[in-house]
A and B are shown apart, each in its own frame.
Chain A
Amino acid sequence: MSLVVDIEKRLPGFTLKMAFTAGNETLALLGASGSGKSMTLQCIAGIVTPDRGHIEVDGRVLFDSDSRVNLPPQQRRVGYLFQQYALFPHMTARQNLLCGVRDKKRAGAKADAMLATLGLTAAADKLPAQLSGGEQQRIALGRILLNGPDILLLDEPFSALDSHLRFALEGELRRTIRDFGKTVVLVSHDRDEAYRLSDTMALVENGHVTARGTKETIFARPRTRAGAALTGCKNLSPITPLPDGRILADDWGVLLTAGQVPETARYVGVRMHAVQYGPGENELHGAVTEVVENPFSCTVMVQPQGGKKPLGWEVDKSWWREHKAGSVTLHLPKDALLLLEE
């Protein structure tokens, strides 16, 4: 089971130029809105035609501009879960499932079996508008699975749902993906969701894949500033390298020892939860400018002495209540520093 994508498409504003492969795995395309993630899925499904390039699934060529292959979506066997699920609004849940069955002879039995599997037998005759968001997603997925696709594309699968529903449905989707057992490509702008659902990841910026690897390496070692931001690193500062091997974080006015500094490094990043309390390596002193309360933690904004901008430090809420202070000493462990390219 494999997916090969190498496509180019000129769009107003930027050029989509995506190249990646995926094996028997769940690949998450993580990128900001408008970075070209959904457009890539549409190209794989055949809804949008790239200007040039090559797409194949399991060795079957779906699109190739050189040999002029461009299969219609009907022949691609690509399962596409749309953001809003795209259930046919005038058909009942069961009729929607029937639309997914290619072999019309035993369609009724298959649809009924799927309803039972989904636990939605009682909802068989309801219209999509009468189903909850979660039920709609299950019917849409069931409709796709009945179709027997070779690959599954999930376009922001939870964006249409309230946050309290997401977690429960995520577990369900994880099981569905595991049972499917073939290539799955997930598009998301939510790093947590992407991390939990995927095996490997690709960061997408401005229509390009800028990083590709296991989700662990993508999160632990982002290469670019945008990659760090996408994986949730909020403390980012431009740097000036010093002759003695140290770097100056321009925004924070702090000198840092970061080990070997690559020549291409332009920024330093440190995740808010990796900032440590008290003295230590890469120490800084600063005034607390703002405390943002999260449900279970606090983000304390600290303006280092001589710095232009504050950096965020995430601490446990009850701990902060006991140790609250107007100014603090913090340190940034060397291993927590991310050296980033532009």
Chain B
Amino acid sequence: MGELDWFPLWNSLRIAAVSTAIVFFAGIALAYYVARLPRLVKGVADVILTLPLVLPPTVVGYLLLRLLGPKRILGAWALRVLGLRLTMTWWSAIIATAVVVFPLMYRTARGAFESFDETLAQAGQTLGLSNTYIFWRIRMPVCRQGILAGTVLTFARALGEYGATSMIAGYTPGRTATVSTTVYQLWRTDNDALALRWVLVNVAISAAVLLAVNLLERRKGAA
């Protein structure tokens, strides 16, 4: 066995990091605004935003290809106007991963906001504090534990994304290969020993992340 080519790990990490960053803000913003919608609209929005969590990743991948493929509406537009291919590149995996993990962030943020005592925000308002200040300096810090746990969980899930990613970004060694697609490729080509090494790397990272989630939640319980 030769030296391990670390590219898939690096690629997985950057895809997970960027998609988690995007989903962090999008999930929090949508959780905040959806909670304020009228009940009926809220129900519909909630279903749409949570759907990727329960759909098979391959279905998400298929739907994304219908949108982002070079001959499809968004994909053709991006190619023509921006000169960007939205599929079969490493950053297309970011799109796929972000869509798949979005509900995790959205739902944990919503749970955290729902347990937030609204009288704190109201007290801030009567004291003349701006709504922006109240959001970033009161609501977010008070909900910190839940949101942090959600973020870590989102990152962990992003790291392991396989289905939608393999459909949108494919498997090109050195370009779009991630840990999960590499494991599949190695197993398919009977390179069992190398596949096992990647599996161990993956298990170690995932376990570390879950340990972090547990520690965060324990702290929340103590507070």
Q: Using a CB–CB distance below 8 Å, which chain A residues touch chain B?
A: 42, 45-47, 72-80, 82-84, 86, 88-90, 99-100, 102, 143-144, 147
Contacts and interface: CB of A to CB of B under 8 A. Distances in A.
A90 B141 contact: yes
B152 to A, nearest CB: 20
Contacts of B191: none
A88 B142 contact: yes
A100 B122 contact: no
21 contacts: A42-B122, A45-B122, A45-B126, A46-B126, A73-B125, A73-B126, A74-B125, A74-B126, A76-B126, A79-B126, A82-B122, A84-B119, A86-B119, A88-B142, A89-B120, A90-B141, A99-B127, A102-B128, A143-B127, A144-B127, A147-B126
Contacts, number: 57
A177 B117 CA distance: 27
B196 interface: no
Q: Name the residue among A75, A99, A102 with the largest chain B CB count within 10 angstroms.
A: A99
B128 A74 contact: yes
Contacts of B142: 88-90
B138 interface: yes
A41 to B, nearest CB: 10
Contacts of B117: 84, 86
Given A72-B125, A74-B130, 20 more contacts: A42-B122, A47-B122, A47-B125, A47-B126, A73-B122, A74-B126, A74-B128, A76-B126, A80-B126, A84-B117, A86-B120, A88-B120, A88-B142, A89-B142, A90-B138, A90-B141, A90-B144, A100-B127, A147-B126, A147-B127
B123 A80 contact: yes
A102 B120 CA distance: 18
Nearest to B120: A86
Contacts of A78: 126
Ranked nearest first, the 3 interchain pairs of A and B with the lowest CB-CB distance are: A86-B123, A73-B125, A86-B119
Contacts of B124: 88, 99
A86 B122 contact: yes
Majority SS of interface residues in chain B?
helix
Contacts of A80: 122-123, 126
A78 B127 CA distance: 8
Contacts of B120: 86, 88-89
Contacts of A147: 126-128
Contacts of A144: 127
B142 to A, nearest CB: 6
B129 interface: yes
A82 B123 contact: yes
Interface of B: 117, 119-120, 122-130, 138, 141-142, 144
Nearest to A129: B223
Contacts of B130: 74
A45 B123 CA distance: 10
Q: Name the residue among A76, A86, A144, A147 with the largest chain B CB count within 10 angstroms.
A: A86
B112 to A, nearest CB: 14
B205 to A, nearest CB: 31
A71 to B, nearest CB: 11
Contacts of A77: 128
A46 B127 CA distance: 12
A268 to B, nearest CB: 42
B162 to A, nearest CB: 39
B117 to A, nearest CB: 7
A222 B65 CA distance: 75
A51 B130 CA distance: 25
Contact of B125 (A46, A79, A84, A89): A46
A88 to B, nearest CB: 6
Nearest to B123: A86
Given A86-B120, A90-B141, A90-B142, A99 B129 contact: yes
A140 to B, nearest CB: 8
Q: Name the residue among B117, B126, B142 with the largest chain A CB count within 10 angstroms.
A: B126
A229 to B, nearest CB: 29
A147 B126 CA distance: 9
A102 B127 CA distance: 8
Contacts of B119: 82-84, 86
B68 to A, nearest CB: 42
B188 to A, nearest CB: 51
Contacts of A82: 119, 122-123
Contacts of A102: 128
Nearest to A90: B141
Contacts of A47: 122, 125-126
Q: Name the residue among B117, B128, B138, B142 with the largest chain A CB count within 10 angstroms.
A: B128
B55 to A, nearest CB: 37
A22 B220 CA distance: 45
Contacts of A83: 119
A74 B123 CA distance: 10
Nearest to A146: B127
A185 to B, nearest CB: 14
A45 B120 CA distance: 14
